[in-house]
């Protein structure tokens, strides 16, 4: 799948069949994540691969919009390390770029994925830090739930010419 096809056909997948994701695919996703651009090329990210059912369930239990983790076989939590980038806003932006790379790569590998919001919600950050035993200086920014899709979601054309401004608003 070429990059434009991946961008134009990717959709969030929230229901999964009972099938593990191959470790090679997870490695490809992590490689894709780490190819993302980052401010000053600091690459201040870390990734927690979560494949233990009890941990996935613990996250689903508290996250109001993370209930798909009850059936997703895997997740990757994208974290930002404040000791590597002390500007929290840049940390969030860098990790967002890495997250989008994971979503597009997952789609290209025929996996289903969805971005589950953590940062900047304080209570979610604290819960994930506790469940995954993250150091305090590591902020969980986003979580990507992963697996093989129960069903495909059709592409949606969102192009809106009214959102485009040339030279001035
Ligand atoms: C910052 C951010 C946070 C999101 N948080 C959640 C979430 O917590 N749970 C969820 O099911 N989807 C979440 N999504 C996915 C959006 O709902 C989804 O991308 C949007 O509805 C567009 O649909 P699409 O991804 O299929 O194109 C999030 C997306 C972004 C970018």
Best residue for ligand 1 mutational test, from 116, 141, 156 (most atoms within 8 Å of Cβ): 116
pLDDT at 5: 97
Cα gap 51→75, rounded to integer Å: 7
Protein residues with CB under 6 Å of any ligand 1 atom: 11-12, 14, 65-66, 114-117, 153
Task: Indicate yes or no: pTM above 0.85.
Answer: yes
Under 8 Å between Cβ of 85 and 93: no
Cα gap 133→140, rounded to integer Å: 11
pLDDT at 17: 97
Under 8 Å between Cβ of 115 and 107: no
Under 8 Å between Cβ of 139 and 79: yes
Q: CA-based angle 40:45:49, to the nearest 5?
A: 160
How sure is the predictor about 124, in pLDDT bands with cuts at 50, 70 and 90? very high
Nearest atom in ligand 1 to 11's CA = 26
Q: CA-based angle 95:63:48, to the nearest 5?
A: 40
Token pair in block for residue 156: 């949606």
How many A from CA of 25 to the centre of ligand 1? 22
How many A from CA of 107 to the centre of ligand 1? 15
């Amino acid at each position: 799948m070429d990059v434009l096809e991946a961008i134009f056909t990717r959709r969030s997948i929230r229901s999964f069949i009972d099938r593990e994701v191959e470790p090679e695919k997870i490695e490809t996703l992590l490689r894709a994540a780490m190819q993302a651009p980052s401010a000053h090329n600091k690459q201040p990210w870390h990734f927690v691969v979560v494949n233990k059912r009890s941990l996935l369930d613990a996250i689903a239990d508290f996250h109001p919009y993370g209930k798909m983790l009850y059936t997703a076989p895997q997740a990757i939590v994208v974290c930002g390390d404040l000791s590597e980038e002390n500007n929290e806003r840049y940390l969030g932006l860098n990790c967002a770029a890495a997250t989008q790379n994971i979503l597009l790569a997952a789609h290209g590998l025929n996996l289903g994925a969805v971005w589950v919001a953590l940062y900047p919600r304080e209570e979610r950050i604290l819960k994930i830090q506790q469940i995954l035993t993250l150091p305090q200086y590591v902020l969980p920014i986003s979580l990507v739930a992963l697996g093989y899709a129960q069903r495909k979601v059709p592409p949606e054309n969102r192009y809106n010419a009214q959102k485009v401004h040339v030279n001035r608003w």
